[in-house]
Structure 1
Amino acid sequence: MYGHECNETCGHCNVDRCSPINGTCLTGCDAGYQGEFCITKFGKGMYGDGCNETCGHRRDVNKCSNINGTCLTGCSVGYRGYLCKTECGKGTFGDGCNETCGHCSDVNQCSNINGICLTGCDAGYQGEMCNAACDKGTYGDGCNEACGHCRDVNQCSNINGTCLTGCAVGYRGYLCKTECGKGTYGDDCDETCGHCLDVHQCSNIDGTCLTGCSAGFQGEMCNADCDKGMYGHECNETCGHCNEDRCSPINGTCLTGCDAGYQGEFCTKCDKGTYGDDCNETCGHCRDVKQCSNINGTCLAGCAVGYRGYLCKKECDKGTYGDDCDETCGHCLDVHQCSNIDGTCLTGCSAGFQGEMCNTDCDKGMYGHECNETCGHCNEDRCSPINGTCLTGCDAGYQGEFCTSEFN
């Protein structure tokens, strides 16, 4: 106290020591006050001894204690502590430092005031505050990478692109960006391609052979053998005359041999003049050798002259010859020696006949074997061409069967 009748109160003097006469503070002012009488507070934003301290980041600039700097109504956004001079702790921001920073690439570079990531986002996040995952189908730094062929595009990791529920059909690897290996396709690449013409052209998704099948196979996936009796590229070739129609679907070779009438690897027709199993039979005397059935040897245009039967391997019966064996042999000395072809008597004629075919009687006045005998004195020169007997009697003066004896 000081003054007249000690009715005045000292200002904010240090240790309450003021002049009892005029109230001047003898040992200086308390923190937060200034002047001779220590009744004047420091200017706004200052506090402490000599008003040399600067208030922190207070919510209300007028609410900083001039004595100890306490922010009386709390701190500004981004600061904490009773003096509000400390920024929010690492990874926090905002009013009361109650907000958590997003996925900043450097958590120390998260703005303590508004949470903006000052040096960008961690892989897999986007936006100023890095609290939004990459858009569907993208991932990585700056969300600049495209997800692979995930089974479910919503299950692509926004951070590293891993397909969390596996790959779509036809793809493999944790990113599902790699097609199935050569010769495989399908879910998890567990299926094996068929017999594609080019295994590199097997669809990694459904196994379709994009450039067609290898020889011997058919179907979109080239896993079906050619139909029975067919072979080759696209199964467009017809097998030869294979036994039981069993030929290689790849090159057409007959696997169980040939049908009768065919020969070789591919069972082609027997050579001209042969027929039957393995073409081991020889055709008969066909009128046209090209018209001999390669299967059973039948002469399709009939037999050559002198032969009969459907195989034309039999000569004409004894005593016949010619086309269809319709001709009758002449008077051959030996009927077995009549040519089945042209009727020629191969060992000569019976007595009384002459000519190659022995169908001509001996000339008048001649008889016998090869008509070498001369008739006797027969009446009108008529004698048997066989034995020379005179058929109408003898000339005058002759007698006997042969009219060779004169009368006495």
Structure 2
Amino acid sequence: MPCVVLLCCCLFTVLHITSDVLAYENLALHQPAWQSSTAESYTADRAVDGLYTDLAWRGGQCAVSLEGQTAEWRVDLGAVKSIHHVLIQYVTGNTVWDENNVYTSLFLGFSVYISNTTNKEDGVMYFRDTNYTRATIPNPVNITCPYHGRYVIYYNNRTHPPYPEGYYGDARIRLCEVEVYGCPKLGFYGESCSIPCPQNCFCHITEGTCLGCLPGYRGLTCEEKCGDNTYGWRCQQTCGNCSNGERCHHVNGRCLSGCNAGAYGVTCKESCGNCSNGEPCNDTDGSCPSGCNAGAHGVKCKESCGNCSNDEPCNDVDGSCPSGCDAGAYGKKCDIDCRSGYYGPNCKYKCRNCRYKKCDGKTGKCHNGCRNGWRNTTCDEKCGDNTYGRRCQQTCGNCSNGEPCHHVNGICPSGCYAGAYGVKCKESCGNCSNGEPCNDVDGTCPHGCDAGVYGKKCDIECQMGLYGPNCQNNCSNNCAVSKQCDVITGECIGGCQAGWKGSTCDAECGDKTYGAECKEPCGNCKKMEPCHHVDGNCLSGCESGVYGMKCNQPCGNCSNGHLCNEVDGSCQFGCDAGVYGQICNIECPTGRYGRSCSKTCGDQCQGCNRFSGVCDLGCLPGWTGQRCDEPCTFGNNKFHQDVFLNNLL
């Protein structure tokens, strides 16, 4: 029934137990108990063991739960009993119980229920703390409220914050003892439980007033027996399948004339098993007089046969299989599934190479796939097709003579083909000297490295600036990009610096050349010596007629054919006629002539020769002579002669 709050009829006291209270029996002592969770080994039964001298929660005498939003504990009194009061001793930590004791905050807000089922909601809540504080809550507590029931339930919760001041944040059980006092048998009351209640009712435990009917009776005065095919407590239980439709006993439900076919037991509520040929079972003990139908066994033929071999029926008495078990089962009755790692008839085969050693008990199929190196549904086939490992998905290396690698770990049993090394022959050899194969175990090159690589395995490319076998050679300093060359040949990347030639830039320019790519021709060095290969300078000076560091500048017209200075081209004795300047290579300007252009042409000259001063372009009118320095007289001037001739004609 729904939970009913009966706080109005309860008396709450603290250790004020009168003489009549002391006469009642502790109905909870050593009875089965349960709690919603258990901390360590402090189980629910410790609260009904009669021990509570050590009130520390780890003292071994208290029931203790884990923390949570709710905490529930109950004791089963074994049957419906008439209850007078409940005494609860809570944990104290063996310290003074006052507002400073930490356990007061855990105790606050608790409730106590009485129910005829394990569900507190089916009973009544006859106490709930709503008023106490850490300073006022008593311990132990004695709650007096006459009622009847089978289960006494302690409950606390922290499900609807905010909580009153002093409440702990979660709910926990810390019960050192719960004592339930009352009469051990319904139908009696009084301080010694010796006074009979009114007929057919259970009564108030101290006053004797009727509170309800005993099992089998109903009505206001409890004088009416259960009817309508019912019996028991509040006539709420239904009679079984009694013979010929007779009513069962109103108190205990017993069928007085036995059961109808197909049922058995004192209340005829048990169904017969699978008796042979559909015969009815014995209505008292349910036994099948002629044995069982195929597929069942036991005295009552209620037990099913196991998985007997080839679906044979089991022995109908003990359930044994005469020819053993079918695949997937073992045991005398073939009713036990194969243990992990076994399969087949009578589970006699071991799972083969299954991952985690688990396979289907009937077929041996590996549920989680195969161990490394195996394949097939039953994992009984090694990896093939040059594969190995997990799901046979890895490819073997380059094993010697084309042999397959080990199906599990991929190791090559006879070593590696040339060009590979390692236990799996999956590593490629480096560039060993002269193309020799490397060691097939560690990959080392027995005679060093080929050009362009170095290292124990000849698998590291030369660092910048090095080349050749084992990278022992330095790139030429004459490379256009300093110390950068081909790691194999040493050929300079980007060509050579000025003055050098060859692929490795280790040869000076020759054939009277110098400079970038040796394309610049040398000058006219003295005694036909070669010029410097880088800058083209003539280290021993110049041949006659040229000057400069590179002897490629021609001398000017020095006076009387003297040689010019081979460094700066200057003429020590001046210039020859018709030229001037530091190196005597500039022609005389108009109006000048002679050595170093030191002489001036005549004023009457229309332009003189820069070497001789002769007026090559003639004289101004009125003048004559090679340099036009003679005045004209009639007849000695070409102009006058031309005029005279014209007049004659």
Where relative contact order (Cα < 8 A, 6+ residues apart) is larger, the structure is 2
Q: Which has the higher strand share?
A: 2
Structure number with greater Rg is 1
TM-score (norm 2): 0.29
